[in-house]
Amino acid sequence: MSKTCQSCYNICLRPWLITDPTERLIFLAMSVILNRFQLETAEAGWKDSEYTACLSHADYTCQQLIKIVQLTPEGSMSPIGVRVFEAMAGFVAGFPIRPGSLVPAIWVFLGKLAKRAEDREILQNFLIDSTYPQVERGDDRIIYCLQCGQYQLIDTTQTLHKRHEKVAFTVYCSSLIGGLMNNEQCHASAELRRISICKSHMYAQALDLKGLEFKLLDYRKALEFSRMVKDAFGRGWMDALKCINCYAYNIDRCEYKTESKCKFCKKIETTVIFDPFLDCHAHWACFQKRTCDMQWDLRTVTHENGYPKIRVPKPEEFETWQGADYEKMLSTMRKYFGVKEVSWEHERVQILVMFARYWRHDPLIEQRVAEESRMNRTWFSPPELQ
């Protein structure tokens, strides 16, 4: 038996030979969720009847599995948590799992391998089988909605493949909006290869996601959002807000078009949109240009050996700015948009939402940097010859 762990690739002090295919499937599905390795590696591992791992991985895997399925002291599990886990297990196995059929196997897995005292306290109240049931294959022709659990035909479902779609769906299901998932379930669903949902859910999702920015003005909601995106995606606000905007506006393309005067170019056209969060009328292109101008105004210039070094900040950095940098960012925002001075955190949310929605990479930024470098270069006279 190999002494090398096929999960962490260290030498196993306590080797765990996972010969049972169901036990191996549960462990490998959790390993993908916990980002130990990619799904393709797990698919290959499931076919290896002599798969070996460190036994120390088992207890932590059980702890996280309990959080995903939300096992309660009464013995109940979260239906959506079970659906998320069975979906991942299906991708590892290479075929869909019949809904609910993996629950008995989860009980056996936890009963055999969970070691934490609080977990054992729950499990000892139930009679748990010692052998794993065989994994039951589902019907390929039927698709189950991850959100509601209803089975649908292919033409009434929508499959989310792209990352921004999965991130936006996960944010919608979080406690901040839909209240369907905890943070561990959010992370697990974002790791799925694809997510299938009823098409009928999508419009309501888009409307609720568009209203998220107003919720973030509440400090407690903003803190909850920060924790959720950190736990689920390991990133900050900007990445999640970009995904939400792309997903929501692709579904509901209503942009509040009005025949009003653009705040920036002063033209009165039907293509002028109204942004209710920024309380501003402007063309989309004008919004985009102003965010690029703001980004350029926040650059820093230092000199080294007579040559200027120009650094243009990335929008993701604005989340953590403090002190003088933060004050400069606020004054730049007020200069371009004329917003009223409210609380600093309120204005930070406005800036992050604005950049997530309108900012795109400025194709002229390299030219701006080159011209600024040329204009700010310090020319030294050669020393006089003796």
Q: pLDDT tens digits, residue range 30-62? A: 999 999 989 999 999 999 988 999 998 999 999
- Please, is 352 exposed, middle or buried when counting C-beta atoms within 10 Å of its C-beta (0-12, 13-18, 19+)? buried
Q: Could you give the residue ranges of the DSSP H alpha helices within 199-322?
A: 202-210, 212-215, 219-233, 237-251, 284-297
Q: Assess contact for 205 and 251: CB atoms under 8 A.
A: yes
Q: Which residues contact 195 (CB under 8 A, 6 or more apart)?
A: 87, 146, 159, 160, 165, 166, 169, 189
pLDDT bucket at 382, cuts 50 / 70 / 90: very low
Residue type (1 letter), 278: L
What number of residues does the chain have?
Answer: 386
- Return the pLDDT at 255: 62
Q: pLDDT tens digits, residue range 123-143? A: 888 878 889 998 899 888 888
The Cα 5–Cα 23 span in angstroms is 16
Q: What is the CA radius of gyration of the chain?
A: 26
Average pLDDT over residues 98-111: 94
Q: pLDDT tens digits, residue range 214-248? A: 999 999 999 999 999 999 999 889 999 999 999 99
- Return the pLDDT at 239: 93
Domain boundaries, the chain: 15-123, 143-251, 260-376
The pTM of the full predicted model, rounded to 2 decimals, is 0.88
365 or 124: which leads in pLDDT: 124
Q: Which residues contact 54 (CB under 8 A, 6 or more apart)?
A: 5, 7, 8, 10, 12, 13, 14, 15, 16
pLDDT bucket at 385, cuts 50 / 70 / 90: very low
Residue 1 has pLDDT above 60, yes or no: no
Residue type (1 letter), 344: W
The Cα 139–Cα 11 span in angstroms is 41
The Cα 184–Cα 188 span in angstroms is 6
pLDDT bucket at 146, cuts 50 / 70 / 90: very high
pLDDT bucket at 341, cuts 50 / 70 / 90: low
